[in-house]
Homo-oligomer: A and B are copies of this chain.
Amino acid sequence: MTTTEAETDTDLTRARRAFRDDLVDAGLLIPSGIDGLYGRGAVFEDVISGIDALVVAAGAAAHGTEPKRLRFPPVFPRESFEKTDYIASFPNLTGAISTFTGDNKAHRALLADRESGSDWDHHLESAGTMLVSAACHPSYATLSGQLPNGGALLDVYGYCFRHEPAVDPARMQAFRMHEFVQVGTPDQAQRHREDWVPRGLQVLADLGLTAVDVPANDPFFGRAGKMLAANQLDENLKTELVVRIYGDLDDGTALVSCNCHRDHFGETFDITTSDGEVAHSACVGFGMERIALAMFATHGLDLSGWPASVHSRIPR
């Protein structure tokens, strides 16, 4: 296992490595040779299914059948990605996709480089697509134009990619996020974010997890990013539901994120309310792998020892 991040040998790093080793030994995660990329064993997937059933039930209790269920593949058009502005704020987390578009001769040149042990990426061209960084990103392009009265409410669930190799199993490069997204007036968006904080805490409580809600900021890149992060905190745009997987060695791990985007996506994706104003948006995102990992850290790696009220929620 190559650790590409500079992680010093602190108590926290040791705790993270020990947790990962235990998860791998138990067959819950399958190492790939790269930090943050794992296969999932059968029991891990069953736990994910159990968590998702609770997330779905919370969505139904809050919104009935109103949310439009959409599922997107892990890849989406560069053109939509550009509108998220993610490359400006989180360039180091992105995944751009390239492919080979040449002829026989160009292919022979690629294979010759490969044969000689050289890098062969310069033989590739952009495929016009990007990996999805947040489950909701591909959904905004479907809303361009004027929203009906009441706005739009979406249920999206899919794989996300973030290039941040780390020893901590809770910081994966590829993970699933289940989101409920509200697009509409500033009030609707604000209320969506606020109402989902207690609902998210209840989902975690039902899984036997003790979470707290804390103001948070995204890891904006670079010097300009510091200002954006401070601004996000100041304006109280992001609330995270946090569980202490590693005790008091750190400030805890964010399992659920409740976000106000203001008019960011409304502006770049040309979405307007029924009144013709630029639409605001907000989302709640459940980090499925992180919730599962918090459950294993809290209840143990062997499901047979889990509290009955939690164990009964896991299928099979």
Contacts and interface: CB of A to CB of B under 8 A. Distances in A.
A101 interface: yes
Interface stretch (A6-14, A76-84, A207-215, A301-309): A76-84
Main secondary structure of the interface of A (DSSP, over half): mixed
Given A30-B142, A37-B76, A223-B104, A96 B93 contact: no
Interface string A75-117: 1110110100001100111111111111110010011001000
A163 interface: yes
A191 interface: no
A188 to B, nearest CB: 22
Contact of A80 (B33, B40, B74, B138): B33
Interface size on A, as a range, is 35 or more
A174 interface: yes
Contacts of A88: 111, 114
A96 B94 contact: no
A233 interface: no
Contacts of A149: none
Which of A38, A93, A100 gathers the greatest number of chain B CB atoms within 10 Å? A100
Contact of A92 (B37, B74, B96, B101): B101
A219 interface: no
Interface string A33-62: 110011111101100000000000000000
Nearest to A130: B97
Given A37-B129, A70-B39, A129-B173, A32 B77 contact: yes
Nearest to A92: B100
Given A39-B71, A69-B45, A75-B173, A127 B163 contact: yes
A217 B228 CA distance: 53
14 contacts: A32-B76, A39-B139, A40-B71, A40-B72, A41-B69, A41-B70, A73-B172, A74-B174, A75-B173, A87-B110, A91-B110, A92-B99, A93-B99, A119-B126
Given A34-B128, A42-B69, A87-B120, 12 more contacts: A38-B73, A39-B70, A44-B71, A73-B174, A74-B159, A74-B174, A75-B173, A91-B102, A93-B99, A96-B121, A103-B222, A107-B221
